Structure 1
Amino acid sequence: MKAFYFLLVLLVTLSSLNAQSLIVQWEEGKDLERKVVGEESRRLLVPSLHIEQIDFASEDALHLAVKELSPCTCVRALEIDRKVDFRTDPNDDFYGSEQGNLIRAGFDRAWDLTSGGKTSEGTDIVVAILDAGFDVEHPDLEENLWVNPEEIPGDFRDNDGNGYVDDIHGWNMIDDSNVYPLNTHGTQVIGLLGAKGNNNRGVSGTNWDIKMMVLSISTISNIVESYGYILAQRQLYNSTDGREGAFIVATNASFGVEGGTCEDFAVWGGLYEELGRAGVLTAAATANQNWDVDMFGDMPTDCPTDFLIGVANVGTDDRLYRSSGFGKENIDLGAPGEESYSTLTRGRYGPFGSTSAAAPYVTGAIALLYSTPCPSLLDRARNDPASAALLVRDAILSSTVPNTSLTFRTATGGSLDVAEAQRMLAESCNLGEAVDFAITAVRPNPAAEEALLETNAIVFSESGRIDLFDSMGRLVRQQSAIRVGGATVTLRLNVAGLASGWYSILVTERDRVARSVIVVR
């Protein structure tokens, strides 16, 4: 018999087949040198617990060893080694074959920490999607639709007194109804954003268990009314400390007016700032035109607000897609929208592309970051929701992957990387809260051309500016505060052309002011 096993091991080894392994935990005090028939090699995995891995040349040898060791009093436990199914990869049918854009945007790595849906305190995270219509009965979507807890379905009463009768998942602003038009575009958008993940069905969204508030729109008035609905829900949540309303953190805008400007639509455009003050960011798709929206205009992506993120479409070659708009000033980053795969109406699935597909990845990134374990972020969301929104925005824009096709065509020059944004957010969370906004270092000092101003700020909006005053107190230079990057805010200060001497620095951002000094040589 021994000769047979020796021959079997030799043949298997020569044929280069993979060894099979058994994990054994020996009883303490027993003879760990016990030889097992058919074993090839062994190694201690956890010495303190007497756990070993024993390798065999074949499955037959492995199973014989199991029979030999199972009744032995020398063994506390044993099990056959095997590859695990990584639960951060959803088991949805088309994830592996069709949803490569989720991987390219970093969601597979971010899911190692959280797959989204709830904050670390257990609060439902809600995103609001404005689009033409939706298949709210799609089996891969219906579980992730927001449900208004204050409404009783089908009683034909306005239970929560907000002016909408039976607004269970949101509202159809087009027809003033809770019945939604069946529309492919909207169904594709919400599928990318929040199709139920890891349910052995179809596709996975950016967040596996997100709650989606859906609002059908066709006209600007529909858009304005929808934002009013969203704002009321989040403000109610804020004012009642989460007892009522909805914790809406983002809206998705895969629509717009190509060639329009925020000046042309001041009411609509002004709502992004209002939403932001309540703690709601918006990810907006830019024009599906190969033009510079800074020059030609695009509504809403050219709105001058810190609470809106303009998104360009990146192709599968990781370059700006040929039909996507761009703009160094108004388009913040790119996202891999082209050749996405999503839900379709009537329970189907299919391809989806264009800038409309790019924006939901960013909306999903915003929502996913709120599920990152970070108590200080949730404290901000309660006490200063606008600051929390800007912190999340800053994490997303500070963590993009450099992309040469976007270098001079977007504000960040990069593409979405939600995993890196998550890492930066977690890192800033560990830094704790700064009591006062301050410049912590000026490097180099003295300086001749340029210096970096290191601060203790985590959040810093685009409205920030730097003022330089000479020794007589006269304003000699004013410039926009340009971020360099990092977990805390570092700003670039230009001192080229200034006369040698001592200058005072004043950094202003919203209602915060920080001061320092620099010597120019």
Structure 2
Amino acid sequence: MMRRHTILGALLVICFSLSKAQRIAHQYIIERRAESSISFGKDENAVNNYKVLGTIQLGNTELDLIEFPKNLQSSDEIRLLAQSPNILGFQINSTLTSRSCNPNDPLFATQWSMEKIGANEVWCFGNSGLSPEGDTIAIGVVDLGFNINEDDLFLNLFHNYGEIPDNMKDDDANGYVDDYTGYSARAGIGDDHPIMSHGTQVLSTIGARGDNKVKLTGVMQKVKLVPCSANTSFDMMDCYVYFMQLRKQYMRSNGKKGGFVVGTNISVGIPDAFPTEYSLLCGIYDSVGINGILNSCATINDPYDIAVAGDIPGLCPSPYLITVTNTNSQDRKVTAAGYNKVHVDMGAPGEDIPGINSSGNVEPVSGCSFSSPHVAATVGLLYQFCPKLTTLAKNQPDSAARLVRKLIETCSDKLVDLTGITATGSRLNVYKAFNCLMEYCGVTSPERIAELHYTLSQGKLQVDYHPTRIEAADVGIFNVTGQVVLKSIIPANPNGASNIILDISYLPQGLYIFTLNDSDGKKSIKFIKI
């Protein structure tokens, strides 16, 4: 058995996502030499009813789980343990809490792609759907139609609150009439989207509401989805211009109008087509991109080289367009999926993906149509974490879009099946892209100095910790005799600073030492419990 020094659940609160462990009253884990016995000296009669609930052999020492009588105060219990000559160390006993960041949606277990791309790892660091400056992140979606009333999507749909629904007026003067929940380019007016399953399933892959105990989750658990229904290439261009106008209006109004659209998805297209025939359409991507919008598109669901077979928009030569092919749960490229070592950028899961259809039922769907939404959602997900990226998006939006593309394509998983037939040879990995973003954001900069500052108030020790890199750290509190009274672990925080709050109300008065150990070494501060 390996020796563990981490407490089973200290009353540690980390402000960015830990649940409070539940201390078990009157129970302690003590360490003593194997040949010794528990002794409380003169206080033996006061605790003659203590119970040993379990013992673990640990080399020359033993760990006992003991329980004091319920009439004792915790301060008395701590004093007795601290004064016992045979006790080498002790800590409270607590229940364990899950540190999984998986959502509570009932069908999440069927969503294999989320773990495959590391989305569940990134969720541990935040699911607000907001940038660090409070901008509500939006993703535009072009498709034939959608069910915008689906219950697991409704809360994540974009609403243009500058518009009064169905009054046949352009209330917010953005050039579109009644665009309250997206825009119907098919109709050229309003948001009366045809109800279709394909677009609804795409929406659910990007942003079905997560952790709400309903159906499943999207890659982004919270986001604002901007649906735009299209039927022709002209409609498609109209949709992209609409997304661009929302973003431009948002920037001009300092967030009071429009929407912070950072990415788009299109899982429909034109087969057997080439950029020479659709130069105006392909040019739209550059126009949208220089306004800070990175676009993702699904390639064809045929086993062909798209440079030969044709694919619009997949062949459009824009630095603001990522063309995505389909991979399965075994990290193999799906046979019926397009490829090209120049024009198809990467792969993403798209086979047997649970999706919500227009009737509200969940069913497995397959195709590049469901690979691309994973990438589009990743664009939005990354904008949640880095203030430096938000600043770049507002001052140099084209550079922000290019940066996010680089992070997604460079920080990914190399696959043999994609090597030589895609530009990157890689499959999407959200967590790797996230870590690369953190490096860009400066969280890991070696020039930063780790700092510890503390305050004491109402039985709480609060420590402000500014690490030099993203990593977990060990913390502990020791009394003046060197006995451990608390041990725990601080998980990594992508925002750098951590606000650690420790409950020390149960400790007797006296001098204590708080220690924190990370890759920069051990740091300690002394404090007096009054």
Q: TM > 0.5 between the two?
A: yes
Which of 130, 138, 149 in structure 1 is aligned with 2:161?
A: 149
Letter in 1 for 2:147: D
Change (3 A) 1:112 1:296: same
Please give the per-residue CA displacement for 1:14-38, whole angstroms capped at 9, x wherever unaligned.
xxxxxx9947699xxxx79987403
Name 1:92's counterpart in structure 2: 105
The alpha-carbon deviation at position 165 of structure 1 amounts to: 2.6
Check whether the contact 2:27–2:68 (CA below 8 A) recurs between aligned residues. Answer: no
What is the rounded CA distance, in whole Å, between the counterparts of 1:418 and 1:335 in structure 2?
10
Which of 412, 416, 421 in structure 2 is aligned with 1:404?
A: 416
Check whether the contact 1:21–1:54 (CA below 8 A) recurs between aligned residues. Answer: no
Name 2:36's counterpart in structure 1: none
Check whether the contact 1:21–1:55 (CA below 8 A) recurs between aligned residues. Answer: no
Match runs of 1:59-70 below 5 Å: 65=67, 68=70
> Which consecutive residues of structure 2, in runs of 5 or more, have no partner in the other structure?
1-21, 29-39, 80-90, 446-530
Amino-acid identity (%)? 31
Name 1:439's counterpart in structure 2: none
What is the rounded CA distance, in whole Å, between the counterparts of 2:314 and 2:68 in structure 1?
64
Please give the per-residue CA displacement for 1:69-88, whole angstroms capped at 9, x wherever unaligned.
66565258998633323362
The alpha-carbon deviation at position 237 of structure 1 amounts to: 1.7
Letter in 1 for 2:334: Y
Name 2:389's counterpart in structure 1: 377
Letter in 2 for 1:361: H
Change (3 A) 1:37 1:276: same
Change (3 A) 1:72 1:409: closer
The alpha-carbon deviation at position 343 of structure 1 amounts to: 1.1
> Which consecutive residues of structure 1, in runs of 5 or more, have no partner in the other structure?
1-19, 44-52, 57-61, 434-521
Check whether the contact 1:105–1:417 (CA below 8 A) recurs between aligned residues. Answer: yes
Please give the per-residue CA displacement for 1:213-261, whole angstroms capped at 9, x wherever unaligned.
0011111111111111111111112223323221100110101112211
1:39 aligns with 2:41: no
3-state SS of the aligned residue for 1:233? helix
Please give the per-residue CA displacement for 1:348-384, whole angstroms capped at 9, x wherever unaligned.
2111110001000000111101112x22111111100
Name 2:373's counterpart in structure 1: 360
1:346 aligns with 2:376: no
Name 1:202's counterpart in structure 2: 215
Which of 220, 245, 257 in structure 2 is aligned with 1:244?
A: 257
Name 1:292's counterpart in structure 2: 305
The alpha-carbon deviation at position 344 of structure 1 amounts to: 1.4
Letter in 1 for 2:141: I
Name 1:182's counterpart in structure 2: 195
What is the rounded CA distance, in whole Å, between the counterparts of 1:220 and 1:192 in structure 2?
24
3-state SS of the aligned residue for 2:51? coil
Name 2:132's counterpart in structure 1: 120
Change (3 A) 1:68 1:365: same
Check whether the contact 1:313–1:334 (CA below 8 A) recurs between aligned residues. Answer: yes
What is the rounded CA distance, in whole Å, between the counterparts of 2:92 and 2:178 in structure 1?
54
Letter in 1 for 2:51: V
Change (3 A) 1:39 1:255: same
Change (3 A) 1:157 1:431: same
- Count how many residue pairs are aligned between Structure 1 and Structure 2: 393
Name 2:175's counterpart in structure 1: 163
Check whether the contact 1:333–1:400 (CA below 8 A) recurs between aligned residues. Answer: no
Letter in 2 for 1:171: Y
Match runs of 1:378-397 below 5 Å: 378-397=390-409
The alpha-carbon deviation at position 317 of structure 1 amounts to: 1.6
Please give the per-residue CA displacement for 1:191-231, whole angstroms capped at 9, x wherever unaligned.
00000000011000001110000011111111111111111
The alpha-carbon deviation at position 156 of structure 1 amounts to: 3.8
3-state SS of the aligned residue for 2:290? helix
Name 1:13's counterpart in structure 2: none
* TM norm structure 2: 0.69
Change (3 A) 1:24 1:142: same
Match runs of 1:307-322 below 5 Å: 307-322=320-335
Check whether the contact 2:233–2:281 (CA below 8 A) recurs between aligned residues. Answer: yes
The alpha-carbon deviation at position 54 of structure 1 amounts to: 7.9
What is the rounded CA distance, in whole Å, between the counterparts of 2:141 and 2:221 in structure 1?
16
Change (3 A) 1:163 1:55: farther
Check whether the contact 1:25–1:75 (CA below 8 A) recurs between aligned residues. Answer: no
What is the rounded CA distance, in whole Å, between the counterparts of 1:214 and 1:87 in structure 2?
32
Name 1:219's counterpart in structure 2: 232
Which of 431, 437, 449 in structure 2 is aligned with 1:419?
A: 431
What is the rounded CA distance, in whole Å, between the counterparts of 1:79 and 1:299 in structure 2?
63
Letter in 2 for 1:104: K
The alpha-carbon deviation at position 182 of structure 1 amounts to: 0.9
What is the rounded CA distance, in whole Å, between the counterparts of 1:85 and 1:156 in structure 2?
51
Check whether the contact 1:376–1:432 (CA below 8 A) recurs between aligned residues. Answer: no
What is the rounded CA distance, in whole Å, between the counterparts of 2:293 and 2:68 in structure 1?
58
What is the rounded CA distance, in whole Å, between the counterparts of 1:401 and 1:90 in structure 2?
24
The alpha-carbon deviation at position 151 of structure 1 amounts to: 1.1
3-state SS of the aligned residue for 1:118? coil
What is the rounded CA distance, in whole Å, between the counterparts of 2:242 and 2:437 in structure 1?
29
Letter in 2 for 1:414: S
Name 2:318's counterpart in structure 1: 305
1:135 aligns with 2:137: no
Tell me whether 416-425 or 234-243 shows the greater mean CA deviation.
234-243
3-state SS of the aligned residue for 1:394? helix
Please give the per-residue CA displacement for 1:414-440, whole angstroms capped at 9, x wherever unaligned.
10001000000110111899xxxxxxx
Tell me whether 266-275 or 176-185 shows the greater mean CA deviation.
176-185
* TM norm structure 1: 0.70
Change (3 A) 1:326 1:25: same
What is the rounded CA distance, in whole Å, between the counterparts of 2:72 and 2:295 in structure 1?
59
The alpha-carbon deviation at position 177 of structure 1 amounts to: 3.5
Change (3 A) 1:295 1:55: farther
What is the rounded CA distance, in whole Å, between the counterparts of 1:198 and 1:431 in structure 2?
28
Please give the per-residue CA displacement for 1:445-472, whole angstroms capped at 9, x wherever unaligned.
xxxxxxxxxxxxxxxxxxxxxxxxxxxx
Letter in 2 for 1:74: D
Check whether the contact 2:68–2:77 (CA below 8 A) recurs between aligned residues. Answer: no
Change (3 A) 1:367 1:72: closer
Tell me whether 85-94 or 195-204 shows the greater mean CA deviation.
85-94
